[in-house]
Amino acid sequence: MPGEPDSCAAGGGVPAGAALPGEAGAGSRPRLAEPLVEGTVDGVRVAVPRGATILEAARLCAIEIPTLCHHEGLPPEGSCRLCLSETRGSLAVSCMYPLRESGFAALTRSPAVLEARRYVLSLLVCRAPRAPRIRKLADEYGVSPDPRFMRDPDGCIRCGRCVRACRASGPEAIALCGRGFARLVTGPFGRPPEACVGCLACALACPTGKIAFSERDGVRRIWEREFELAPCPECGKRAFTREQLAFLGGGASALCHSCRRRLMARELGKAAALEAPGGPALLRAL
């Protein structure tokens, strides 16, 4: 209808109890039982479970809000400030701002949002001028580094994703320490983290590629430490470090990801065949 806001999904939103993108992740809050609240993002009508964030509502409408510190599988921290949007006449951190009542209206590309996002990007690009994702965003928003803040760019934007990933994996080997320009991700007392098990969770979570690692001749190197990779008992491929398997405990499977997927598919296939008419006899004959 003319003048009516667009609806982001057939039927005007999500059905009650539907999962939002990323809801299954470790950082998500359980909201399945929450009632829906309705509002708009950039004029697009949307219904989300109460407590969902502006970012989640926008994603449900396929509206892109750039993010760096946010990761669907980790608790949100709101540290990079890139995902700003505008609601109730103020700027809001979209990945943290919960939508509690119907009637919300968020803008993701208003003049105030774009100006603030450009400023944030001009600071982030000073920290990590060579990070492909940040360079791409800087180009897109027509931003160059602010020379006043261009001090020893080390490629780290202090977003804490690596620290949260390490915490979620269990070892809690690294932390963000210090203040201001001296703030750094490091092991205890600035030394290589002894509790690190070489799982790569930090490096894979990092949005700038700051955490370097390498693998050669069955040895993984990260955080100035070396880890021997154990061979997969099925195919011999080296996927996990011995420390990682020990950390996960005796019951942990040392199978690589591909062999584990194959094994699961085989077991699921067997279970489905057992349910089918004549399945057990067929399985016995194989």
The site for ligand SF4 (CB under 6 A) is made up of 156-162, 185, 205-206, 208, 210-211
**Distance of CA 239 to CAs 171, 210, 245, 269, Å?**
18, 22, 10, 25
Q: Which residues, listed in sequence order, are joined to residue 176 by a DSSP beta bridge?
A: 185
- In the DSSP assignment, the letter for residue 180 is G
Q: Which residue has the tokens 């598919």?
A: 265
- Binding partner selected for residue 161 from ligand SF4, ligand FES, none, CB under the kind-specific 5 to 8 Å limit: ligand SF4
Distance (Å, rounded) from C-alpha 216 to C-alpha 136? 31
Q: What is the closest distance, in whole angstroms, from the C-beta atom of residue 213 to ligand SF4 in the complex?
A: 12
- Is residue 266 classed as helix, strand or coil in its secondary structure? helix
Q: Which residue has the tokens 């027509």?
A: 142
Residue selected from 46, 95, 200, 229 as contacting ligand FES according to rule CB under 6 A: 95
Distance (Å, rounded) from C-alpha 82 to C-alpha 93? 8
- Binding partner selected for residue 8 from ligand SF4, ligand FES, none, CB under the kind-specific 5 to 8 Å limit: none
Q: What is the closest distance, in whole angstroms, from the C-beta atom of residue 186 to ligand SF4 in the complex?
A: 10
User: Residue 209 is encoded by which pair of tokens?
Assistant: 């590629």
| Binding characters for ligand FES, 51-70, by CB under 6 A (x = yes) | ----------------xxxx
Residue selected from 61, 93, 131, 239 as contacting ligand FES according to rule CB under 6 A: 93
Q: Which one, 41 or 69, has the nearer CB to ligand SF4?
A: 69
Q: Which residues bind ligand FES (CB under 6 A)?
A: 67-70, 78-83, 93-95
